[in-house]
Structure 1
């Protein structure tokens, strides 16, 4: 079955909110409930649970950033039990396929904390590159789809 991106619903939101990162990642990765609320309040943001063979492994939030109009990945996390197994990269590639379907061949953005070296390496592994911009005190990365 592999990686599936499923809409956050009343049936899975609590389990999604219970996903955890390592202690050293806390404060770098926003709480999932915060992102779920954003997706409920704003039509331009879409939250998805990441599943691997029907097991919830992560969460993401993507959409159009209001101030810049840029399509972007705003939040991305994989539960600590599933990190460093290649699943994060597979899920990110699945998201990029979804973005191509929804938005076409566009520039797609994300930001990464300078402290989050593992996330930066993950983004680079699928083709994101730093573009020299800073947004919310984080490095902006972009990929051409």
Structure 2
């Protein structure tokens, strides 16, 4: 899947280490697990689908979603991150749109849910711009926003 200079590619032996080397800003570290932990998690939970985000053929981000419905009878996005050096360029939004397109094509998706910390303003802006709606659902320290597709 790709759109202009942004594409997402399943994590593989050629890009997994690059994903692990990506960094977020210090103020974002409280909101997201490391990519290394996410990749390890995907090896023990085979329904998780991890992807590298490429910008102009360079790994600049990471995302992961579940391929089976969970809480709220929806498919959950577990991670979306873009390296601190590439934030603010629309890469995360384009990659997320590509992910949603891929989920629609490969899964029987009615709803997609993303959970994030309420203080993560960047995540809030990204998901609301893509049509995710806060319906009041909370899971632990995270709020869940929902995109209904059907």
Q: Same fold (TM over 0.5)?
A: yes
Deviation string 1:48-80 (CA, Å, 9 cap, x unpaired) is: 000112111100110146763531101110100
2:127 corresponds to which of 120, 123, 127: 123
3-state secondary structure, aligned to 1:88: helix
Aligned structure 1 segments of 4 or more residues deviating by more than 6 angstroms: none
3-state secondary structure, aligned to 1:142: strand
After superposition, the CA RMSD in angstroms is 1.6
Alignment of 1:59 onto 2:56: no
Give me the whole-angstrom Cα distance separating, in 2, the residues matched to 1:65 and 1:135. 18
Structure 1: which 5+ residue stretches go unaligned? none
1:89 corresponds to which of 78, 86, 93: 93
Alignment of 1:46 onto 2:49: yes
Using the TM superposition, give the Cα deviation of residue 104 of structure 1 relative to its aligned residue in structure 2, in angstroms. 3.6
Structure 2: which 5+ residue stretches go unaligned? none
Normalising by structure 1, we get a TM-score of 0.93
- Number of corresponding residues: 145
